[in-house]
Amino acid sequence: MPAHRADPAEPDAVSPDTSFSKEPTSRRRFLGYLLAAPTLVAAAELGGGTGFGAPAANAAETGAGVPPSPQLADSYDLTDALVHAARPTANLITITLDENGHAHFELHRTEVGQGINTTVAMLIAEEMDLPLDHVHVTLADARPELMTNQLTGGSSSVSSIYYPVRTAAAIAKGKLLEAASLVLGEQANFLSSKLGVITSRAGRSVSYGDLATKAASDSTKQVEANLKAESDFAIVGKPTRRIDALDAVTGRKQFTTDLDVPGAKPTMVCRPPTINGTPQSVTNAEQVRRMPGITDVVTISSGVAVRGETYGQCIDAVNALDVKWSPGPVDGESDATVEQKLKDATPPAVIPPTPATKTLERQFTFAFVNGSALGVNAAIADVKPDSAEIWSTLKIPIAAQQNIAQALGMATNQVTVHVVSGGGSFGRALFHDAALEAAEISQKIGKPVRLMWHRADDCRQGRVHPMSVGTIRASFNGDVVSFEQHLASVRTDFSHGLGDAVSSTVARELPGVSYTVSEAIFALTTPSLYNFGITKTLLTETHQSPENNRPRGGFNTGSTRNVYSPDVVTTRELFVDELAEKMGMDPYDFRRKYVKNESLLKVLDKAAEVGGYGKSTPDGVGHGIALHHEYKQTMACFVELDCRPETVNRKVRDGVTGPRVTRGVLVTIPGHIVINPLGLEAMMQGGFIDGFAQALTASVHLNNGRIAEASWDNFFYCRQWNLPFEFTPVVLPAEESEIPAGAGEMGVAPSFAATACAYRAATGKTPTHFPINHNDPLPFEPYPHEPPLPPSPTNGLDYAY
Amino acid sequence: MPEHTFKLNGKPVTVDTEDNVRLLWVIRDLLGVTGPKYGCGINVCKACTCHINGKAFNPCSVQVSDVGPDDEITTIEGLADTVESDLHPMQEAWLDHDVVQCGYCQPGQIMAAVATVRKARDEGRELSDADIEGIRNVCRCGTYFRIREAIKDGATRM
Ligand code: FES
Ligand code: FES
C-alpha cells in the first residue's frame, strides 16, 4: 500500500520555512507579566499581547466571469470571530517553572483528540528553548473569569492562543536569561539558551532548574516580551508526535469513566423510547433496587437512574425497569415529515430570472447524522449539601458550571468543574448533557455517581447533526450571472454558549451587522468561491418555536464537526458540476475558469495533478473534485470512487460496503504557519474519512420520534473495509496571514462534496439524498426501543481469534 | 456471592460477584484495570479487546463464570510483559506512526492488531490487506490509515 503521508522532504509537502519571513512582527508589541511567586511564573493576557490590525491579505483575484457580490465570510470569518471572542478578558494564562527546570501550563482548552496539548507544549518548548518533554500541559478547571476564552470550538484554539502562549513563554525565557547573567557574570545578550540550559560565551552554564527560584519575581509587574522570529523556529513547524501517545498505547491515559473518585459507583439511566420522552411512573423501582449489585434507583427528569457495583448490573437493572413514558416533543416526526417541513420552509428565489438567461435549480436532502464520539457521554458528580464537584469532558466548562449550579440551587463558586481529556468530541462535548444529569442524580440520592451513557443512549438520545435541505439556483448565459443558495435546516442547538460568543463578537466587531446565533455562524462559514455574479446565501431554520428551545424540547441537535458546511459545500460543488455540464464544460475546467482567486486556483490544480484528475478510469469509476475555504484554510479535495458492482456488492458481516473511495487527495493552503505538520495531517485524514462516510453511509433514521440506530453496526461510520487504499494530504506554503489556521474540522466538507461529485461522475446519476444509501431498506434489524438497551451478549468466546 | 478466579496480566485474581457479570466490568469496575474501554457493550466496537490465552476477544460479551483459574487474560496493561519488555513491538510501531488521536480506541486496536498478526502466522502466512480489513475495531477519530501502516510495521518487528 502506498504511503499515506506527505514526505516532509518533498517540495510540496509542509516545509518548516513556510512563510516565516512574512510575519510582520516588527510593528507589534507583546506585553505580558511576571507574577510574584516562589519560582518563576510568567503570564500573558489571553487575546492580549498583540493587536490584530490588518485582516488576512486576500489572495489576488482571478478568473473569468462576473465577480461575486461580497459575502461576510470573504473578509471576516468564524475563526476571526472566535479569536476576537477571546480578547476582552483581563485574565491571565500562566507558565510556571519548577525547580527541576520543567514548565507547567494549565490549558484552558479541552484535549479531545485534536492534539491541542501537543501543539501548546510545542509553542512553549520553542519559545523557552526547553526540550518538549520538560513541558507539562494539564487541563484547567472551569475558570468563570475567562468567559468566552475557555471554549474549545470552531477549530479556533490554535488561532486564539498562538500569540498569548508564546508571549508568556518568551517572558519566562527573558527572565531566565536575566537571572543567568548574574550567575554567569556575562551580559544577557551574550548568553545562549538551549534545551533548558543557558551557556555563556566563556562556556560556563546553568540549568533552568537552578534558575527557577533565582528568576522568581517578588512583585507582579508588566514586562515586554521578546518573541522569537518565526524564521528561528526549531520545534514549531517540525512534524512532532503527540505528547500523550505513550499513555494512550499503554492504557494509562484516563478518560472520565476511568477516574477513581471514591464512592462514585457506576450509574446509568433508563431512557424513553422516543426522543426526549419523560418518565410518568415506575411500577417496580423497589424490586429493581434489590437486584444484585444495585444500590439506588431514582426517577430524574430524563428517565430513571440506577446506581450499582458494575455497569453490567446497571444495564440489567435498566432493562428490568417497568416505566410508563409520556410522549416526547417530536413523536409525530419521521424522516419524511421533517424533510417536508424543510422544503416548505424554503423560500422562493429572490433574484428574478431575466428573459436573456437560462436557469438551473436543484435541491438536496441531508439526513440526520449521529455525532457521538467513541467515548460515550460520561460524567462523575459528587454533590454534597453545600458544594458539588464534577468531572467530565467539557469544551465549555464555564457554561456547565453555571447551569449545574443553577440546577442544584447553588452559587457558581460552590460548584467545582474538572475538565477531563475526551475520547473524541466532534462538537458533542460543547454540551454538558451528562454532567448536568450526573449532578441531578447525585443530588437526588446524596451519593457520588459515575454516570455513563450506553452506546444505544448516545445513538438514540444523543445529539445529531440536524437534517437539512439545500436549494440552489443559478442563471447563466455565456457566464453565470446570478447564484443563490439556501439551506433549510432543523434548528442547531447553540445554547451551550459558543454561539453567543460568536454573535456577540460579530455585533461588537462589525457594527451594523445584526444576526441571530445561527445566522452569524452560517454567514461566517459561507464564503463565495466563484465569479458567479450576484451571489446570495441564506439560512432558514425549522423547529424554532419556544418549546423547541427549552431543554429536551425538540430534537437533540448540535454543531457536529463542521456545522453547516458539509451540507452547504456539497450542495454547491455538486451543483457546480451540473452547471458545468449545462454550459458544456468539464467540471475541472469550469472551476479553473470561474474560481475567484489564485489560492483557489492553486489548490484546485494541485489536487487535480496529485489525484490524476481526468485520467481514464474503468466504467463505474469516477473522479470528483471540490473546493472550500474555512478556518483560514483554502482547500481542494480529489476523490476517486469505485461504483462497480463487484465493489458495491462486497459482503461484510453486519457491515455496509457500497461504493468505495479508492484514492483521496486533500490540498490546503493554511492561513499561517503550521505548528505541527504531523497533527495537521492527522486532522486532514480524519476529516476526509468523516466526509466520505457522510456522503456514502453515515446517517440515522427517524421514525415517529424513534431513532432506529443503536450500535456501530447500525450507524455506518467508516470501518477498515470502507477505507480508501490511498490518501495524500498536501500542505502548500502558507498564506500571508497573522492567524494560524484551524484544522479539527477542515476536511469534512470538501471530502463530502468531492465524494458526491465522484459518484455523479462514476454513475452518471446526481444523488438527491445524502448519504446516498439513506433511503435503501434498513440494512439491519433495529434493536427494540423498550427495554432501551440491547442485551449484553454471552457468546464472546465464540468470536475469539 | 460466588467466587471467580482467573489470571489477569500474569497474576491470579479472585472476585466475588454474580456469575453473569460480564468480564469487562469485572476487570474495570471491580479490579480497577481500565485499559480496556467501553464503546458499545455488545461486541461491536471492539474498544474492549483483550486476549484470552493469547487470542483476541471482547470481555463485554463473556460472563465471568465462563473463565476459570487456568485462563490467562491479558489487557493492554499486560501486553508488554508478554514479551518481557517495556513496550510490545506493536506499541512501539503505534508510537512511531503517531497513530493515536483521542486514544480511546487504541488499547483495543493494538490488542486486535497483535492477535491478527499472530493468527496469520499460525496459519502459516504473512499478514495481508484482507486480514487488516477484517479488523472490526471502530476508530471514530479516523486514525485508520495510520493503523494500517503501524500494523504492517509492527508485524515485521514481532
Ligand atoms: S465494548 Fe466490547 S466490543 Fe464494544
Ligand atoms: S483515536 Fe479516538 S477513537 Fe480512535
Mean pLDDT of A104-124: 89
Counted domains in chain A: 3
Same domain for A188 and A204? yes
Kindly state if the Cβ of B141 falls inside 6 Å of ligand 2: yes
Q: Give me the pLDDT at residue A511, please.
A: 64
Q: Give me the pLDDT at residue A524, please.
A: 80
Q: Give me the pLDDT at residue A498, please.
A: 66
Same domain for A324 and A448? yes
- Flag whether pLDDT at A153 surpasses 60: yes
Same domain for B71 and B91? no
pTM for the whole structure: 0.92
Higher pLDDT, B95 or A398: B95
| Domain presence at residue A355 | no
Three-state DSSP state, A560? coil
Best probe residue, ligand 1, of B46, B50, B137 (max atoms within 8 Å of C-beta): B46
As given in the structure block, the three cell numbers for residue A162 are 498562538
Please tell me which residue of chain A has the smallest CA distance to B129. A1
- pLDDT of A514-537, one tens digit each? 677 788 778 888 888 999 999 999
- Flag whether pLDDT at A155 surpasses 80: no
Same domain for B119 and B153? yes
Q: Give me the pLDDT at residue B142, please.
A: 96
The CA-to-CA distance between both ends of chain B, in Å, stands at: 42
Best probe residue, ligand 2, of B143, B145, B147, B148 (max atoms within 8 Å of C-beta): B143
CATH of the domain at A113: 3.30.365.10
Higher pLDDT, A590 or A56: A590
A209-224 exposure pattern, b = at least 16 Cβ within 10 A, e = fewer: bbbbebbbbeeeeebe
- Flag whether pLDDT at A501 surpasses 70: no
Q: Give me the pLDDT at residue A40, please.
A: 93
- Flag whether pLDDT at A15 surpasses 60: no
**Cα separation, B46 vs A416, whole angstroms:** 34
- Flag whether pLDDT at A86 surpasses 60: no
| Torsions phi, psi for A439 (to 5 deg) | -65, -40
Q: Give me the pLDDT at residue A519, please.
A: 81
- Flag whether pLDDT at A560 surpasses 70: yes
- Flag whether pLDDT at A11 surpasses 60: no
Kindly state if the Cβ of A115 falls inside 6 Å of ligand 2: no
Angle at B3 between CA B1 and CA B4, to 5 degrees: 135
Question: Where does ligand 1 bind, in terms of residues with CB under 6 Å?
Answer: B 38-41, 43-48, 58, 60
As given in the structure block, the three cell numbers for residue A306 are 440506577
- The domain boundary residue, chosen from B59, B76, B93: B76
Nearest to B25 by CA among A382, A711, A317, A440: A317
Asked if residue B49 lies in contact with residue B57, where contact means CB atoms within 8 angstroms, the answer is yes
How close is the nearest chain A Cα to the Cα of B71, in Å?
12
- pLDDT of B53-87, one tens digit each? 999 999 999 999 999 999 999 999 999 999 999 99
Please tell me which residue of chain A has the smallest CA distance to B94. A249
ipTM: 0.98
Same domain for A411 and A286? yes
H helix count then E strand count, chain B: 6, 5
Higher pLDDT, A10 or B85: B85
- Flag whether pLDDT at A146 surpasses 90: no
Same domain for A168 and A275? no
- pLDDT of A430-451, one tens digit each? 899 999 999 999 999 999 999 9
From the CA of B153, how far away is ligand 2's center (Å)? 20
- Flag whether pLDDT at A234 surpasses 90: yes
Kindly state if the Cβ of B68 falls inside 6 Å of ligand 2: no
Counted domains in chain B: 2
Same domain for A582 and A656? yes
Minimum-distance CB partner of A313 among B21, B28, B95: B21
| Domain presence at residue A403 | yes
Same domain for A246 and A285? no
Asked if residue A670 lies in contact with residue A679, where contact means CB atoms within 8 angstroms, the answer is no
How confident is residue A154, by pLDDT bands cut at 50, 70 and 90?
Answer: low
- Flag whether pLDDT at A25 surpasses 50: no
Q: How far is CA A190 from the centre of its chain?
A: 45
Interstrand relation of A449-452 and A265-270 (parallel, antiparallel or unpaired): parallel
Q: How many CB pairs under 8 A join A and B?
A: 243
Q: Give me the pLDDT at residue A385, please.
A: 97
- Flag whether pLDDT at A18 surpasses 80: no
Q: Give me the pLDDT at residue A742, please.
A: 81
Please tell me which residue of chain A has the smallest CA distance to B147. A720
How confident is residue A577, by pLDDT bands cut at 50, 70 and 90?
Answer: very high
Mean pLDDT of A3-18: 37
Structural domain of A753: 464-770
How confident is residue B116, by pLDDT bands cut at 50, 70 and 90?
Answer: very high
Same domain for B9 and B51? yes
Structural domain of B48: 3-76
- The domain boundary residue, chosen from B43, B76, B109: B76
Question: Worst-scoring range by mean pLDDT, A52-56, A575-579, B124-128?
Answer: A52-56
- pLDDT of A719-746, one tens digit each? 999 999 999 999 999 887 777 878 778 8
- pLDDT of B131-141, one tens digit each? 999 999 999 99
Q: Give me the pLDDT at residue A293, please.
A: 97
- Residues of A with CB below 8 A from B127's CB? none
As given in the structure block, the three cell numbers for residue A368 are 440526520
Q: Give me the pLDDT at residue A508, please.
A: 65
- Flag whether pLDDT at A335 surpasses 70: yes
Minimum-distance CB partner of A311 among B38, B39, B98: B38
Same domain for B50 and B104? no
Same domain for B72 and B101? no
**Cα separation, A174 vs A362, whole angstroms:** 60
